[in-house]
Amino acid sequence: MASAAPRIGDTKVQMSPLEPGKFINYQRIEDNLAVVRKRLNRPLTLSEKILYGHLDDPHGQEIERGKSYLKLRPDRVACQDATAQMALLQFMSAGMPTTAVPTTVHCDHLIEAQEGGVKDLARAIDINKEVYDFLATATAKYGIGFWKPGSGIIHQIILENYAFPGGLMIGTDSHTPNAGGLGMVACGVGGADAVDVMADIPWELKCPKAIGVRLTGKIGGWTTPKDVILKVAGILTVKGGTGAIVEYTGPGVESLSCTGMATICNMGAEIGATTSLFPFNNRMTDYLNATKRPEIAKYAESFKHNLTPDDGAEYDQVIEINLSELEPHINGPFTPDLATPLSQFKEAVKKNNWPQELKVALIGSCTNSSYEDMSRSASIAEEASAHGLTVKSKFTITPGSEQIRATIERDGQIGAFEKVGGLVLANACGPCIGQWDRKDVKKGEVNSIITSYNRNFTGRNDANPATHAFVASPDIVTAMAFAGDLMFNPLTDSLKGKDGKEFRFSDPSGFELPPRGYDPGEDTFSPPPEDRASVNVAVDPKSDRLQLLKPFKPWDGQDPKDLPVLIKVKGKCTTDHISAGGPWLKYRGHLENISQNCLIGAINEVNNEANKIQNQETGEWGSVPSVAAYYRDRGVKWVVIGDSNYGEGSSREHAALEPRFLGGLAIIVRSFARIHETNLKKQGMLALTFVDPADYDKVRGDDRVDIEGLQDFAEGKNLTLVAKHKDGQVDRIPLAHSFNQGQIEWFKAGSALNLMASRNK
């Protein structure tokens, strides 16, 4: 008798050693692609294989890059503590007993850098006890894995424990694409998207275009994987990757470590890309083996035909980079896409009159805190120390995880950093997200810092708009700390040792993976308990940190008329401008309190000032949140007018929740960043764009507006903005939107959560 051919799904491999009974589903990818290949009849890129392999309905799904909305079934969800609060509060409103897919929460955002890792962690645990108790009890109640404060940064923990080749993950943080370093399609989303997946509703994503970055040559010397993405950011700019997945291919990939590939994917968030990823290769196998997941490496090897792109796969755009010719780059200030090759940076400092003295050099973060990063930087510190030098700039080190911290302490790198004057911070985000109690300069004082982080928007790191923040590899950052001077080029310039003799740094060297294996350090993971029925979720009704949610009101069925323009925003408006981080992070679970930061960083075109707008009802000038609340409390809906790539940056959904909470109806802009546009739709806001971007200029900051066409709101059908000016003139302006029928239902119901809750009743 003939026996059935073996199927990939016959082998059962756990997604993570920490999640018994949850298995990798390569069979679904195999089965879906059998259907999709017949339908499309063309070679597929790697991202297409993984995405289409996770389709909810491969037979009926419309598939057209840049146009179709894919309904997908992700393998897992990850949340960091700042965004997890609102995601869990929303999930609690959905009325389900447990999450539909494996989910984890990571406490990394609420730890402020002040004195050093141990003291800062202890203070954070004390200050944030209420939030941590809520997260610990909510995760226990709903079957979610909980990583305590001090565990490390979400993306590093995911890479070490949960990412796997061919997986699809969403995370409530914009740098979730870090997991692309292990061949995973990992996308940053707002909390409402995460709630959908946790509640067993397909995740909706506009079918991405594919950008191919072909790497040739071999990386070496002072050039690092970080320089690849710094170069790509300079080519594509902060919005050049919008609506696309960036795939790295070519022979040059083989010279990159797995954690180096993760660095590249992580910072791909800065070009607006949906995500970035690499094909499965031997360096991923090495990392999986080193992190005690050899079964996954072996399973991926047997599935490699679907973990690499097809020969002849076509990309919408192709970029070529020769790694042998790529030199180190420094990007910034004030934007992560202003890329300058190191050989030209000295001249750029002079030409632009950037502050030459380097005040602080900071390495680590979710982007660059691997063992390889730390050991290379330590080699630079050791060479400087051998010449009797200590750092001239302040120098901070942020380990990405407790495992990294314990390993580099055991292997001597921490000692090398501290010997030259470095300060080791907690295993947390810290200064990268504005959690930095900086004392060395006053607010408004012009100065320069350099980091190995990913993002450097104005005020991002230290809330000082005069700080010029530059982004580079940990190698360059570390070397510059010893010069204390932005003009220093470690490839060509010398330093004077304690003996008075000049020396030049050698090429950095380090180990890709720890030769003695990883030291796990302290156990900081709490799996959900077996008996969850008795767990009570901790929310104090009197809390100023946590607040249970009330549903937003549904649409009233009318075309809105005579709405005031709350603010006409001028120029760049990131989610940091819309919902500031730093000290506001503590209110991420309290919508009413955090809404007091709504749009306070946005520049009002009327007066070129931030957080000063005119109340059209009273004529008085006030803060954005106070005027918005005044309108709301009197039943007056309002609109915001914005510029290009509105809402770029962090995935924080509070930037969408706050305008909705304060009574906003529509955000009307030249163009949106992807995640923010989706977040607005989820909260029942109208996310609309000018058909002609030049029409932005026709709307005035003191206009009243009507929006016509909502009663016939339909996919692909334009609306009309009637802008009524104070001088009696009127402009009729066509508005486009990207709502599909399902998203229109969100708007009508008042929010996606309202619709979900009504269906779960």
Close Cβ partners of 517 (under 8 Å, ≥ 6 residues apart)? 290
Q: Please choose, from the candidates 264, 300, 77, 250, the residue with its C-alpha nearest in 3D space to the C-alpha of residue 181.
A: 264
Which residue has better confidence, 511 or 530?
Answer: 511
Task: Flag whether pLDDT at 18 surpasses 80.
Answer: yes
Output the pLDDT for position 191: 83
Task: Flag whether pLDDT at 234 surpasses 80.
Answer: yes
Please, are residues 469 and 455 in contact by the beta-carbon 8 Å criterion? no
In tens, the pLDDT along 703-735 reads 999 999 999 999 999 999 999 999 999 999 999
Instruction: Supply the CATH classification number for the domain 329-503.
Output: 3.30.499.10
DSSP string over 325-377: T---EEE-SBSTT-EEEHHHHHHHHHHHT---BEEEEEEETTTB-SHHHHHHH
How many C-beta atoms lie closer than 10 Å to residue 357's C-beta?
12
The DSSP bridge partners found for residue 363 are 397
pLDDT class of 521 with cuts at 50, 70, 90: very high
Please, are residues 410 and 404 in contact by the beta-carbon 8 Å criterion? no
Please, are residues 77 and 201 in contact by the beta-carbon 8 Å criterion? no
Mean pLDDT, residues 72-93 taken together: 93
Tell me the percentage of the chain whose pLDDT exceeds 90: 91
pLDDT class of 475 with cuts at 50, 70, 90: very high
The kind and range of the H/E element at 627 are helix 624-633
Q: Please choose, from the candidates 6, 160, 219, the residue with its C-alpha nearest in 3D space to the C-alpha of residue 524.
A: 160
Output the pLDDT for position 5: 77
Pairing of strands 563-568, 704-708: antiparallel
Task: Flag whether pLDDT at 1 surpasses 90.
Answer: no
Q: Please choose, from the candidates 147, 201, 146, 156, the residue with its C-alpha nearest in 3D space to the C-alpha of residue 176.
A: 156
pTM of the model as a whole? 0.87
In tens, the pLDDT along 282-291 reads 999 999 999 9
Output the pLDDT for position 348: 98
Within a 13 Å sphere around the CA of 538, how many CA atoms are in the beta-carbon half? 12
The kind and range of the H/E element at 30 are helix 26-40
Cα–Cα dist 667/650, whole Å: 18
Please, are residues 148 and 524 in contact by the beta-carbon 8 Å criterion? yes
Output the pLDDT for position 675: 82
Output the average pLDDT for the chain. 95
Query: Which residues of the chain does CATH 3.30.499.10 include?
Result: 14-322, 329-503
Close Cβ partners of 77 (under 8 Å, ≥ 6 residues apart)? 99, 101, 102, 103, 104, 169, 170, 171, 172, 194, 197, 198
Task: Flag whether pLDDT at 692 surpasses 90.
Answer: yes
Mean pLDDT, residues 309-323 taken together: 98
Task: Flag whether pLDDT at 674 surpasses 90.
Answer: no
Tell me the percentage of the chain whose pLDDT exceeds 70: 99
In tens, the pLDDT along 101-116 reads 999 999 999 999 999 9
Please, are residues 337 and 234 in contact by the beta-carbon 8 Å criterion? yes
Catalytic residue ranges: 108-109, 173, 455, 650, 652
Mean pLDDT, residues 246-265 taken together: 98
Output the pLDDT for position 571: 95
Cα–Cα dist 307/304, whole Å: 5
Instruction: Supply the CATH classification number for the domain 563-760.
Output: 3.20.19.10
Output the pLDDT for position 649: 80
In tens, the pLDDT along 608-658 reads 999 999 999 999 999 999 999 999 999 999 999 999 999 998 767 899 999
In tens, the pLDDT along 181-194 reads 999 999 999 888 89
By CB neighbour count within 10 A (0-12 exposed, 13-18 middle, 19+ buried), where does 541 fall?
Answer: exposed
Query: Which residues of the chain does CATH 3.20.19.10 include?
Result: 563-760
Q: Please choose, from the candidates 57, 67, 54, 58, the residue with its C-alpha nearest in 3D space to the C-alpha of residue 40.
A: 58
Dihedral sign, CA of 261, 655, 576, 405? negative
Query: In the CATH hierarchy, which fold is given to the domain comprising 14-322?
Result: Aconitase; domain 3 (3.30.499)
Task: Flag whether pLDDT at 14 surpasses 70.
Answer: yes
Mean pLDDT, residues 558-565 taken together: 97
Ramachandran region, residue 491 (left: φ > 0; alpha: ψ -120 to 50; beta: rest) = alpha
